[in-house]
């Protein structure tokens, strides 16, 4: 009771303070427009299993202990950040299968005709982990927070200034978020997350140090309950989480505790997993799936495996040709180069057929992907044809040459594990008369070299976003100068026109059409040789962990992700099966080995 | 050529130390074999007899498949050609080297994945590495690179180290003091890190790597040479040479260095093994010569990662142990042969 009172007093004091700073009685009280149409989503299919039961501890591992629990500011961009942010809900989410908007902290939303503004109505039950209700003001504070110089996060300072114009608070439950400009897919941008004003109060110079290890109130199902620096972090489920009964959160986030232990070595991690000190293990590497899986725990069925195909944006992994190099200025030579890359052989003979040929730089973007494009296949005849047409002839060492110049290019890469793939490509390219000089650089040196456009061919992949981005990679504005993502120096007026149209359009249909045409044009120009994609996840897990049917969503990247608000927390713990397994292990009684292959969401053109 | 009787005595003494002498012979043979590696371990045939003409494809330009009536323009696959000629039995023949693989090619098969275990039938006598390259081929060519690397390194290190060391000892005084400080500073630079930093920015080739390593490697020799020269310069023959009006350069190079050669020669074999180890460890860490250069360090790295493929680690470790022991035995024998005291026991 006293606590409540004190909090109330604090809240009042805070409001008082705000009132004191307000510009006075002249300030107009914002009025919600009357003609807006509120929408919600209570019709899309649910994807969690009603069989799921609560309980158990899920033990996972992290390679290094995070340097801070802050999610902004210095050292905050570690992989652990996603565990913290996973419990920080936003106004709205995206349905992983239909990609429609789903409610999170907001129950309803509406679009303004100006294509810059979205209105939200908050869920009155939404609470911070310390019991304080989430109010519209917490979103206004997000803007103040992200724009503050004290958080030492220039990127966020910039983004929340240049992209988000303001947050309008109508009352405690109603707000609007305004973008600085009209953009397509507005909802992807404006569904921001709240920041607890009652926790941070005023920000100061000491922000970075003060909040290094602070457990900030959050709105998601779990909160950090305990940690030892360098050893582990424990998350505990909130006993009566406000979101338990929301349509898309029901039967999810089932385990009581999630413990992340620091295991610094991948081989040791595997040993931990085999001893059941870790519950799941990622098996995307062919080495683990095919060879290391031959252990008694898997062969006796105590550990089960799953190969789950998803349908999500694929990294544009491949060979990026620098068209400012004389040799790649001729389109025929670019085509010849593409036909000299025996990617299929690498897939079959080095990668055990586990990877798939990437057909285009933009696979998995739903309707935005042009699925008719096929990557140029290894074809000595075509190499011959293009090279002869360009006036080249084979030299004494079998490499194409013309006027004292040989078709010999440097391939810069940075991941040691990719060397086996590249040596096979190199040997095959030699047959086609093209010499690849492999140059492995330290990642930052490789990055610098490519960013300064000093490479011949860069072997690399790009991270993905929800919609394909063309301007940074292929627009001539970014060509022929350092520090831009147009690493192929593509400079094509026709492509520029399409990209500009794509960037300026706000209509989804038009953008989809343009997107496909841009991809076709890029394929025609041929500055990029797509190589591999991994449109699936493979995991092993102790058999007392259960998954729904289908085991994941269209975009699931990890079936045992405990937190993520869109796709996480679908699995659950089965105490009875655990007892059964323990008993069987004691009696050395095997179960039939289980390897599930789920193709529910496998990309259509792979089937 | 007439040898100094003292030298002859030293050679005799060296020959009488069996372990060292046989190691020396073995080592020489290994180097000679590695020099002719193209004739022993190669995917190119030694001799091809085709329609009345004889070809020797080992050295020189590539012979495209069309030369032998095949339908492709790239280099002939002589193993396939041999199988084909044997099957046709039309008087054409191919003579392949004992190990018909070069160190770069991937011998991949349908339905199986490298590394393949050793097998005489497939002619991979030591098996293949994780991308299907013959381990024996990579060991042999890697040995050639490693040994010439360390000889080259030795030459540069000793040239610089001996010159500066002698000069320090001979001139003494401020020159000596100055260089001592320089060397102290120099030797405090963590040289492995510097090499790693440099090679992560520029990918070094054979000669650049030697230069980088020599940049830090010459220090070791200076201290010894400085001390020895200090001792020698006080001897009467130096005084005599000076009295005759010999220049400093002449005194150092004609009188002092020949008299300290025992020290230099004694250190050399150990520097050779040091060079091999240095290159191997750099390759192991991935900062040595660029892929796909055959290298022991890379094999060691593979062997460590793929412990199940025991033949990778076993081959390269055996090869390293044999080479390093051989070099060390030679070193010991040289040291003993040059030792003026006849009965010395090394512990």
CA distance A77 to B203: 30
CB of A417 within 8 Å of a chain B CB? The answer is no
- pLDDT confidence of residue A14: 40
CA A427 to chain B, closest CA, distance in angstroms equals 6
CA distance A374 to A369: 12
**DSSP character at residue A403:** T
Residue of B nearest to A421 (CA): B131
Q: Output the CA–CA distances (angstroms, integers) from residue A536 to A293, A313, A357, B47, in the order listed.
A: 18, 11, 13, 50
CB of B307 within 8 Å of a chain A CB? The answer is no
Closest-CA residue to A322 (of A460, A480, A532, A475):
A480
pLDDT tens track for A205-224: 999 999 999 999 999 999 99
CB contact under 8 A, B106 and A423: yes
Mutation target for A interface from B292, B305, B307, B308: give the one with most A CBs within 10 A: B292
Q: Which superfamily, per CATH, for B5-36+137-337?
A: MetI-like (1.10.3720.10)
What beta strand segments (E) does chain B contain?
47-50, 53-55, 93-95
Q: Output the CA–CA distances (angstroms, integers) from residue B208 to A475, B1, B189, B217, in the order listed.
A: 39, 37, 19, 14
CB of B112 within 8 Å of a chain A CB? The answer is no
CB contact under 8 A, A419 and B113: no
- pLDDT confidence of residue B152: 95
Identify whether B115 is preceded by a cis peptide bond (ω within 30 of 0). Answer: yes
A196 with A10: CB under 8 angstroms?
no
Mutation target for B interface from A399, A431, A435, A456: give the one with most B CBs within 10 A: A431
Residues in chain B with CB shorter than 8 Å from the CB of A459 are: none
As given in the structure block, the two tokens for residue B152 are: 């080259």
Query: Which parts of chain B have pLDDT scores under 50?
Result: none
Domains of chain A by residue range = 88-218, 223-307+540-598, 318-533
CB contact under 8 A, A423 and B203: no
CB of B176 within 8 Å of a chain A CB? The answer is no
CB contact under 8 A, A440 and B104: no
As given in the structure block, the two tokens for residue A352 are: 């055990």
Distance of CA A377 to the CA centre of its chain: 29
Arch. (CATH architecture) of A223-307+540-598: 3-Layer(aba) Sandwich (3.40)
Domains of chain B by residue range = 5-36+137-337, 43-96
- pLDDT confidence of residue A1: 38
- pLDDT confidence of residue A351: 86
* Three-class SS state of B206: helix
Shortest CB distance from A442 goes to which of B72, B133, B200?
B200
CATH, domain range A318-533:
3.10.105.10
CB contact under 8 A, B106 and A349: yes
Closest-CA residue to B283 (of B267, B294, B274, B268):
B294
CB of B72 within 8 Å of a chain A CB? The answer is yes
CB contact under 8 A, A419 and B133: no
As given in the structure block, the two tokens for residue A320 are: 């990026």
pLDDT tens track for A70-124: 999 888 888 899 999 999 999 999 999 999 999 999 999 999 999 999 999 999 9
User: What is the enclosing helix (H) or strand (E) of A117?
Assistant: strand A117-122
- pLDDT confidence of residue A15: 40
Residues in chain A with CB shorter than 8 Å from the CB of B76 are: none
CA distance B146 to A26: 84
CA distance B73 to B81: 14
CATH 3.40.50.2300 fits A88-218, yes or no: no
Looking from the CA of A185 toward its CB, the CA atoms found within 13 Å total 17
Query: Which parts of chain A have pLDDT scores under 70?
Result: 1-28
**DSSP character at residue B80:** H
B245, with CB counted inside 10 A (0-12, 13-18, 19+), is exposed
**Sign of the CA dihedral with A431 first, then A437, A442, and A448 last:** negative
CA distance B48 to B70: 14
CB of B61 within 8 Å of a chain A CB? The answer is yes
CB contact under 8 A, A420 and B308: no
B237 phi, psi to nearest 5 deg: -65, -30
Closest-CA residue to A517 (of A484, A470, A476, A473):
A470
pLDDT tens track for B50-86: 988 999 999 888 888 888 988 888 889 999 999 999 9
């Amino acid at each position: 009771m006293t606590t409540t009172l004190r909090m109330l007093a604090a809240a009042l004091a805070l409001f008082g303070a705000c009132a004191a700073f307000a510009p006075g009685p002249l300030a107009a009280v914002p009025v919600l427009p009357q003609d807006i149409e509120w929408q919600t989503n209570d019709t899309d299919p649910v994807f969690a299993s009603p069989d799921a039961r609560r309980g158990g501890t899920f033990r996972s591992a992290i390679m290094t202990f995070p340097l801070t629990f802050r999610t902004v500011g210095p050292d905050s961009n570690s992989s652990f950040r996603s565990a913290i942010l996973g419990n920080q809900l936003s106004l709205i989410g995206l349905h992983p299968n239909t990609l429609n908007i789903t409610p999170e902290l907001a129950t309803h939303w509406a679009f303004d005709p100006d294509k810059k503004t979205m209105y939200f109505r908050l869920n009155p039950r939404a609470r911070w982990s310390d019991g304080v209700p989430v109010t519209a003001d917490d979103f206004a504070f997000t803007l103040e927070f992200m724009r503050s110089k004290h958080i030492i996060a220039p990127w966020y300072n910039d983004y929340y200034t240049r992209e988000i114009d303001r947050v309008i608070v109508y009352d405690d439950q109603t707000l609007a978020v305004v973008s600085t400009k009209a953009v397509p897919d507005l909802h992807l941008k404006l569904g921001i997350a709240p920041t607890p004003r009652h926790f941070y109060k005023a920000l100061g110079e000491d922000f970075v140090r003060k909040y290094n290890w602070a457990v900030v109130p959050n709105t998601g199902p779990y909160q950090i309950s305990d940690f030892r620096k360098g050893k582990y972090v424990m998350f505990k489920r909130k006993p009566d989480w406000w979101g338990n009964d929301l349509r898309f959160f029901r039967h999810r986030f089932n385990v009581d505790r999630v413990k992340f232990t620091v295991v610094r070595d991948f081989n040791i991690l595997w040993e931990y997993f085999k001893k059941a000190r870790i519950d799941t293990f990622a098996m995307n590497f062919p080495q683990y799936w095919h060879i290391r899986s031959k252990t008694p725990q898997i062969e006796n069925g105590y550990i089960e495996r799953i190969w789950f195909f998803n349908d999500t944006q694929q990294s544009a992994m491949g060979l990026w040709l620098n068209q400012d190099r004389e040799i790649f200025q001729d389109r025929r030579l670019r085509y010849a180069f593409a036909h000299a890359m025996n990617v299929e052989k690498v897939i079959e003979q080095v990668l055990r057929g586990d990877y798939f040929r990437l057909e285009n730089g933009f696979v998995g973007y739903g309707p935005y992907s042009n699925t008719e494009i096929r990557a140029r296949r290894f074809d000595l005849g075509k190499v011959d044809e293009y090279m002869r047409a360009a006036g080249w002839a084979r030299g004494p060492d079998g490499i194409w040459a013309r006027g004292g110049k040989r078709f010999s290019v440097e391939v810069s890469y940075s991941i040691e594990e990719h060397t086996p793939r590249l040596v096979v490509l190199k040997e095959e390219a030699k047959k086609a008369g093209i010499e690849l000089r492999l140059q492995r650089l330290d990642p930052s040196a490789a990055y610098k070299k490519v960013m300064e456009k000093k490479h011949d061919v860069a072997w690399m992949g790009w991270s993905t976003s929800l919609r394909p981005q063309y301007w940074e990679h292929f627009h001539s504005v970014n060509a022929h100068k350092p520090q831009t993502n147009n690493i192929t120096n593509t400079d094509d007026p026709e492509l520029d026109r399409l990209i500009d149209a794509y960037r300026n359009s706000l209509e989804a249909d038009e953008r989809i059409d343009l997107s496909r045409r841009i991809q076709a044009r890029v394929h025609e120009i041929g500055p990029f040789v797509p190589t591999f994609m991994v449109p699936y996840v493979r995991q092993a897990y102790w058999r007392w962990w259960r998954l729904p049917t289908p085991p994941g969503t269209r975009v699931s990247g990890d079936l045992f992700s405990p937190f993520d608000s869109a796709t996480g927390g679908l699995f659950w713990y089965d105490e009875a099966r655990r007892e059964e397994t323990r008993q069987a292990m004691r009696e050395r009684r095997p179960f039939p080995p289980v390897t599930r292959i789920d193709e529910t969401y496998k990309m259509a053109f792979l089937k | 050529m007439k040898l100094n009787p003292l030298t002859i005595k030293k050679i005799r003494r060296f020959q009488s130390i069996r372990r060292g002498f046989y190691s020396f012979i073995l080592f020489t043979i290994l180097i000679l074999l590695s020099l002719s590696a193209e004739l022993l371990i190669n995917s190119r045939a030694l001799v091809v007899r085709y329609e009345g003409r004889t070809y020797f494809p080992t050295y020189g330009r590539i012979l495209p498949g069309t030369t032998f009536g095949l339908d492709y323009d790239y280099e002939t696959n002589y193993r396939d050609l041999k199988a084909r000629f044997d099957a046709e039995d039309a008087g054409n023949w191919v003579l392949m080297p004992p190990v018909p693989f070069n160190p770069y090619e991937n011998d991949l098969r349908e339905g199986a994945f490298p590394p393949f275990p050793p097998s005489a039938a497939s002619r991979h006598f030591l098996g293949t590495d994780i991308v299907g390259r013959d381990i024996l081929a990579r060991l042999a060519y890697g040995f050639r690179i490693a040994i010439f690397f360390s000889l080259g390194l030795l030459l540069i290190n000793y040239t610089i180290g001996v010159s500066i060391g002698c000069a320090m000892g001979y001139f003494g005084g401020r020159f000596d003091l100055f260089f001592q400080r320089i060397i102290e500073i120099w030797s405090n630079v963590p040289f492995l890190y510097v090499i790693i930093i440099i090679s992560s920015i520029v990918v070094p080739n054979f000669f650049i790597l030697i230069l980088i390593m020599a940049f830090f490697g010459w220090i070791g020799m200076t201290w010894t040479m400085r001390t020895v020269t200090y001792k020698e310069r006080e001897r009467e023959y130096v005084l005599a040479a000076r009295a005759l009006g010999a220049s400093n350069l002449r005194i150092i190079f004609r009188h002092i260095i020949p008299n300290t050669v025992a020290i230099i020669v004694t250190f050399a074999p150990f520097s050779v093994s040091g060079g091999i180890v240095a290159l191997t460890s750099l390759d192991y860490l991935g900062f040595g010569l660029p892929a796909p250069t055959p290298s022991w360090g890379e094999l060691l790295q593979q062997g460590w990662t793929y412990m199940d493929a025991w033949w990778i680690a076993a081959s390269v470790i055996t090869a390293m142990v044999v080479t390093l022991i051989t070099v060390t035995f030679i070193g010991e024998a040289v040291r003993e042969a040059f030792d003026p005291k006849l009965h010395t026991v090394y512990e």
